[in-house]
């Protein structure tokens, strides 16, 4: 969905060739609802400390994002001196550290880091930080406390915003409600079990996509459009939790799911390179050339993202997880001190 919406406007005239509803922009909303859901489900039956949780999230998110951001910086620096790069050290540091910052000029009101699609990760890391803190609270207070915190921040943004400061704009955005919605959905699903899940799940999925696709016919303001999209994303994810839907096993789709993060981060490079070469072959956007361009963009981005996942992301993440696990084991052993039953832990004799 995200690749579609970005490729659609990469070449002038392509978007006008498609009169179908645009579903692409709602991919981020689905992403946030799913993220809130997964964080609750994966920590529901485990005693995870805040530090352990945040370390796992850093290992999962940071390495590939840093590589993609540095690739963007290297591409911008090609043929230029560092002084003419256009990215001051502060912008680079904030982009790498997930600090909301407007690094891309010409788009007022959009808080975008150097790697444009990384703006969603600013939200993600903020949510992870709050979720990690909630793990320090008693279990029964975690979900209500975090949901109320996210809701309160969104209310502040609605009543007193929009804020010009990037930090305030992100940390009081209505998008925070989508994380809370995913958390609440996870709690309901864990409590009721899959056997009692709604028999209308497939209808939920269909209705949700229809609501997203035809929202332009229904809303008057941006706020109502956002409200429709958020609720549609919620019921789509809820519908997909039906046992019969969740039991669908399709190897290519599962592989794309595993590679979804890599696809998200690298697709911009692929789409821009494709559009640059495409414009020289097809200077005018026709119906046929537009369909062929969009199909090529989807296939090439999927292939590039999957290759990045298999060759870079998966081995890199696996090694970092092993390193963190070994470091935690060494730290725990040092904290406990040498074991009397294990001579190998004793201090060597001089």
The pLDDT value recorded for residue 121 is 95
Asked whether residue 115 carries a pLDDT value surpassing 80, the answer given is yes
Round to whole Å and give the CA distance between 64 and 74: 15
Q: How many helices (H) and strands (E) does the chain have?
A: 15, 0
Q: Is residue 311 part of a domain?
A: yes
Nearest to 122 by CA among 44, 179, 73: 179
By mean pLDDT, which of 34-43, 143-152, 279-288 is the weakest?
Answer: 279-288
Joined together, the tokens standing for residue 117 give 């699609």
Q: Is residue 27 part of a domain?
A: no
The pLDDT value recorded for residue 103 is 67
**89 or 314, which is more confident:** 314
Q: By residue range, what is the domain housing residue 257?
A: 252-322
Q: How many domains does the chain have?
A: 1
Q: What pTM does this model have?
A: 0.86
Q: Is residue 274 part of a domain?
A: yes
Cα distances from 87 to residues 62, 93, 114, 293, in angstroms, run 20, 10, 8, 31
pLDDT-above-90 percentage for the chain: 47
Q: Is residue 89 part of a domain?
A: no
Tell me the backbone φ, ψ of residue 320, rounded to 5 degrees: -65, -40
The pLDDT value recorded for residue 107 is 53
Q: Is residue 314 part of a domain?
A: yes
- Residue range 9-23, pLDDT digits in tens: 888 888 888 876 667
Locus of tokens 């990690």: 132
- Residue range 192-202, pLDDT digits in tens: 766 666 777 88
The pLDDT value recorded for residue 25 is 78
Q: Is residue 43 part of a domain?
A: no
Task: Tell me the residue length of the chain.
Answer: 350
The pLDDT value recorded for residue 9 is 87
Q: Is residue 316 part of a domain?
A: yes
The pLDDT value recorded for residue 220 is 56
- State CA 193 to chain mean position distance: 26
CB 170 within 8 A of CB 111: yes
The dihedral region occupied by 337, where left means phi > 0, alpha psi between -120 and 50, and beta the remainder, is left
Q: Is residue 182 part of a domain?
A: no
Q: Exposure of 250 by Cβ count < 10 A (0-12 exposed, 13-18 middle, 19+ buried)? A: exposed
Q: Exposure of 297 by Cβ count < 10 A (0-12 exposed, 13-18 middle, 19+ buried)? A: buried
Contacts of 21 (CB under 8 A, 6+ apart): 212, 213, 214, 216
Indicate the angle between helix axes 176-192 and 119-134, nearest 10 degrees: 50
């Amino acid at each position: 969905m995200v690749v579609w919406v970005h490729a659609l406007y990469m070449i002038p005239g392509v978007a006008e060739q498609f009169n179908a509803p645009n579903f692409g922009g709602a991919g981020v909303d689905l992403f946030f609802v799913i993220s809130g859901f997964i964080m609750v489900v994966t920590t529901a039956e485990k005693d995870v400390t805040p530090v352990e949780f945040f370390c796992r999230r850093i290992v999962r998110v940071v390495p590939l994002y840093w590589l993609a951001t540095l690739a963007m910086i290297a591409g911008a620096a090609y043929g230029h001196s560092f002084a003419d790069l256009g990215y001051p050290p502060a912008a680079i540091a904030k982009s790498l550290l997930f600090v909301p910052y407007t690094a891309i000029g010409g788009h007022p009101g959009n808080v975008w880091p150097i790697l444009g699609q990384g703006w969603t990760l600013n939200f993600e890391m903020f949510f992870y930080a709050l979720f990690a803190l909630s793990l320090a609270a008693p279990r029964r207070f975690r979900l209500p406390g975090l949901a109320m915190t996210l809701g309160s921040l969104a209310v502040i943004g609605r009543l007193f915003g929009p804020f010009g400061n990037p930090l305030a704009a992100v940390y009081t955005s209505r998008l925070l409600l989508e994380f809370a919605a995913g958390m609440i959905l996870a709690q309901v699903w864990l409590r009721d079990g899959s056997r009692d899940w709604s028999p209308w799940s497939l209808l939920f999925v269909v209705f949700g996509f229809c609501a997203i696709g035809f929202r332009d016919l229904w809303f008057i303001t941006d706020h109502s459009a956002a409200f429709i999209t958020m609720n549609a994303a919620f019921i789509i994810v809820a519908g997909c939790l039906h046992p019969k839907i969740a039991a669908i096993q399709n190897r290519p789709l599962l592989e794309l799911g595993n590679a979804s993060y890599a696809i998200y981060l690298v697709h911009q490079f692929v789409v821009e390179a494709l559009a640059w070469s495409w414009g020289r072959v097809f200077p005018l956007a026709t119906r046929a050339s537009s369909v062929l361009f969009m199909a090529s963009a989807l296939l090439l981005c999927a292939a590039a993202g999957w290759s990045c996942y298999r060759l870079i992301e998966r081995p890199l993440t696996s090694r970092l997880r092993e390193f963190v696990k070994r470091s935690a084991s060494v730290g725990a052993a040092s904290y406990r001190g040498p074991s009397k039953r294990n001579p190998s832990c004793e201090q060597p004799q001089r």
